[in-house]
Amino acid sequence: VRIDPFEIERYYERWEFAAELMLSSSDCESLSVADLFALEPDAERRLAELRLGYTEVAGSRELRAAAAALYASAGEDDILTVAAAEEGLFLAFQALLAPGDEAIVEVPCYGSPLALARSAGAAVLPWRRRLEDGWRHDLDELAALVGERTRLIYVNSPHNPTGQALDADDYARVVEVARERGIILVCDEVYRGLEHDEAARLDAGVDAYEHAVSLGAVSKAHGLPGLRVAWLASRDGTALAAMRELKLYTTICSSAPAELLLAVALRHDAELVRRSRGFVLAHLPLIDALLARHGDIFSWVRPTAGPIGFPRISGVGDVRGWCEGIAAEHGVLLLPGYVYGMDDHVRLGFGRADTGAAVERLEAALA
Ligand SMILES: Cc1ncc(COP(=O)(O)O)c(C=O)c1O
């Protein structure tokens, strides 16, 4: 596979474990294995007794049942487990796109959809959201991008990096546009549940549209990024089968211990998501205050969903160099916007328990 460098993950590979405090992470405070054991009385025993044989390609029945229960319309056979959301994106873009296809990808976005679509030989049509519009989607622009060769549309709500949720009417329109031509809609829902106002939660893609592929994970809203297992849900049997076929070349089947622990977590979905939302809602005012004190350099559209936001930044010179200097000298990590192709922004994250300490550290750096 020929593929562009993944700038976000390259940056984190360099800095995430070198800086003491994270003020840009997209995950929420993580849980321990013991925390998961505490959710169900027999979880620890079941894990200890688990035989480490190969697992079913589509995922264990137990896990698929737990994932399907999150949706109104999906059954166990509509679920495919994957080794993390990242594998889910890889399978979706590589299996569902071919040379000559066009893929519409909302930008800015987590880098892999753009790179994966290109590496599959598809032409990528960026659907741009702009700060000046409050990051709102431009539906006329979407209609103008769709054509005879459009095979796939990628949307991500809650959104990385802006922290905005797709508006419900706009979402309905996106589904309508996709349905008119039977276009596959990849709904990246890895931040689902972290809408600041729970009423803003959208129906999952798999429930909204028969050719949607929902990507679900527990890395962000459940505090379990190290589990490295996630799932795809789709009622489009042909699309699901194509992704399952490709999985035979990536991981064949997922990690048995991770599948067991993920099933435990998903049976307690609401409780785990509530805990993460608690961190997000408690810390957002700290970021508000920080940005208000430094209005000379930061301006933003306040996030409404998820643990991250994407302020514009000015007056600091080279933003990447500025961020790296702060990481090296003060031990607090921001994510410079160049990784999204937007040099004059930084990503801030506020889902970790030590967000207060990270804000104080940044204050000291700014002083
Ligand atoms: C929108 C989006 N999709 C997918 C992923 C990949 O998630 P995971 O780390 O669980 O593989 C990320 C990670 O940051 C993300 O932000």
Determine the 3-state secondary structure of 304 from DSSP. Answer: coil
26 ligand 1 Cβ < 6 A: yes
In angstroms, the CA 280 to CA 263 distance is 24
User: Do 184 and 152 contact (CB within 8 A), yes or no?
Assistant: yes
What atom of ligand 1 comes closest to residue 191's alpha carbon? 1
For ligand 1, mutation pick of 160, 213, 352 (most atoms within 8 Å of CB): 160
CA of 216 to the centre of ligand 1 (A): 10
Q: What is the pLDDT of residues 298-344, one digit of tens each?
A: 999 999 999 999 999 999 999 999 999 999 999 999 999 999 999 99
For ligand 1, mutation pick of 190, 220, 335 (most atoms within 8 Å of CB): 190
Residue 1 has pLDDT above 90, yes or no: no
- Residues 88-116: what's their mean pLDDT? 98
Two tokens, residue 339: 């990784």
Q: What is the pLDDT of residues 138-194, one digit of tens each?
A: 999 999 999 999 999 999 999 999 999 999 999 999 999 999 999 999 999 999 999
Confidence of residue 215 (pLDDT cuts 50, 70, 90): very high
Confidence at residue 88, expressed as pLDDT on a 0 to 100 scale: 98
- Residues 96-112: what's their mean pLDDT? 98
Confidence at residue 105, expressed as pLDDT on a 0 to 100 scale: 98
CA of 85 to the centre of ligand 1 (A): 6
Residue 223 has pLDDT above 90, yes or no: yes
Q: What is the pLDDT of residues 33-78, one digit of tens each?
A: 999 999 999 999 999 999 999 999 999 999 999 999 999 999 999 9
User: Do 22 and 333 contact (CB within 8 A), yes or no?
Assistant: yes
Per the DSSP assignment, residues forming a β-bridge with 169 are: none
Backbone angles phi, psi at 81, to 5 degrees: -85, 150
In angstroms, the first-to-last Cα distance of the chain is 46
H runs (alpha helix) in the chain: 7-15, 33-37, 43-49, 61-68, 85-96, 112-119, 139-145, 168-181, 205-208, 237-250, 256-266, 269-293, 319-330, 355-366
Confidence at residue 159, expressed as pLDDT on a 0 to 100 scale: 98
Tell me the CA distances in angstroms from 151 to 170, 261, 352, 358, one per residue in order. 20, 35, 38, 43
Confidence at residue 266, expressed as pLDDT on a 0 to 100 scale: 98
CA of 110 to the centre of ligand 1 (A): 7
Spatial neighbors of 247 by CB under 8 A, at least 6 apart, are 57, 80, 82, 87, 91, 253
CA of 225 to the centre of ligand 1 (A): 9
In angstroms, the CA 302 to CA 350 distance is 13
Confidence at residue 286, expressed as pLDDT on a 0 to 100 scale: 98
User: Do 17 and 25 contact (CB within 8 A), yes or no?
Assistant: no
Q: What is the chain's mean pLDDT, rounded? A: 98
Confidence at residue 96, expressed as pLDDT on a 0 to 100 scale: 98
Spatial neighbors of 316 by CB under 8 A, at least 6 apart, are 297, 322
In angstroms, the CA 10 to CA 67 distance is 31
Backbone angles phi, psi at 250, to 5 degrees: -105, -65
Q: How many Cβ atoms are within 10 Å of 49's Cβ, its own excluded?
A: 8
Question: Could you tell me how far CA 278 lies from the centroid of its own chain?
Answer: 19
Determine the 3-state secondary structure of 13 from DSSP. Answer: helix
Confidence at residue 78, expressed as pLDDT on a 0 to 100 scale: 98
| The CA-based dihedral angle spanning residues 313, 188, 174, 149, taken in that order and rounded to the nearest 10 degrees | 100
CA of 81 to the centre of ligand 1 (A): 15
Confidence at residue 256, expressed as pLDDT on a 0 to 100 scale: 98
In angstroms, the CA 79 to CA 252 distance is 15
Q: How many Cβ atoms are within 10 Å of 50's Cβ, its own excluded?
A: 13
In angstroms, the CA 31 to CA 180 distance is 43
Where do we find the tokens 């495919």?
Answer: 80
